[in-house]
Each structure stands twice: as structure tokens, then as C-alpha cells.
């Protein structure tokens, strides 16, 4: 059974930091790209960041580049999202995602999803 379990969300003030974690089981973790997405209130889910299976390549949405950092620990089957200099507009549910196919990067499709963790940033 595939499971992606996020943790680390919470209520913080603008300028604070958070680190989200996503523990994965039931997937060949070290051979597939992983990502983070968010869904803000009343909006569609949108891409935040992605990291290749070896961790050597990452992509970010323009809105978060320089403030958020994605990383992974293949031994722990965990992907992280370090969030710095948080803003009220970062308030959203953050979802961990795993690629459907192994060893896909430019044509990756995310199809494994966690339940999400709420991040709320107060001004």
C-alpha cells in the first residue's frame, strides 16, 4: 500500500520558518521524482517544487524560489520542504507527491499524493 504522510505544518508568524516532511512507504522511493504542491483557500492546487530521484536536480515555482528548498533523504524515504521567510500568502494546505513512473524528470507525472498538512502564516 502506497502511503505519503506529511507533517510539520502549523501556525506561524510572517518571517518565520517551517520544515515540512513527507514519509513515504510502498514506493520505490529512491528511483522517482518527488514534489510539493499547495492548495490555497478557494484556489486550484499548484506546483511548489520538485526534486529528482538522486536529489541532484530541483525545480521551483517562481513565487517560492529563494525562500523554499526541497530536499530528500533516500535512506529515510523522506522528502522535505524547508520554508523560510514565510508570508501570509503562503497560507495553504501543502501536499507531498510522488511521480507515477520511475526515472522520469522532464516528463514526470505526479500521481501519488499525501493527505496534506496545513500551513497558516499570520501577518
pLDDT value of position 94: 98
What is the 8-class DSSP label of residue 88? G
What is the 8-class DSSP label of residue 65? B
Q: Is 12 helix (H, G, I), strand (E, B) or coil?
A: strand
The answer to whether 30 and 101 have CB atoms below 8 angstroms apart is: no
Residue partners of 59: CB distance under 8 A and separation at least 6: 49, 50
Of 122, 79, 119, 121, residue with least CA distance to 99: 79
pLDDT value of position 104: 93
pLDDT value of position 72: 98
The answer to whether 35 and 52 have CB atoms below 8 angstroms apart is: no
Q: What is the pLDDT of residues 4-41, one digit of tens each?
A: 999 999 999 999 999 999 999 999 999 999 999 999 99
Q: Is 31 helix (H, G, I), strand (E, B) or coil?
A: helix
Mean predicted confidence (pLDDT) in 75-97? 97
pLDDT value of position 99: 97
Q: How many residues does the chain have?
A: 123
The answer to whether 74 and 29 have CB atoms below 8 angstroms apart is: yes
Amino acid at each position: 500500500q502506497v502511503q505519503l504522510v506529511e507533517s510539520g505544518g502549523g501556525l506561524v508568524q510572517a518571517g518565520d520558518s517551517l520544515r515540512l516532511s513527507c514519509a513515504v512507504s510502498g514506493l520505490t522511493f529512491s528511483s522517482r521524482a518527488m514534489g510539493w504542491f499547495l492548495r490555497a483557500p478557494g484556489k486550484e492546487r499548484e506546483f511548489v517544487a520538485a526534486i529528482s530521484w538522486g536529489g541532484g536536480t530541483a525545480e521551483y515555482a517562481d513565487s517560492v524560489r529563494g525562500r523554499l528548498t526541497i530536499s530528500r533523504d533516500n535512506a529515510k524515504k523522506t522528502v522535505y520542504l524547508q520554508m523560510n521567510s514565510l508570508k501570509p500568502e503562503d497560507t495553504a494546505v501543502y501536499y507531498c507527491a510522488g511521480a507515477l513512473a520511475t526515472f522520469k524528470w522532464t516528463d514526470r507525472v505526479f500521481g501519488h499524493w499525501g493527505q496534506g498538512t496545513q500551513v497558516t502564516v499570520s501577518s
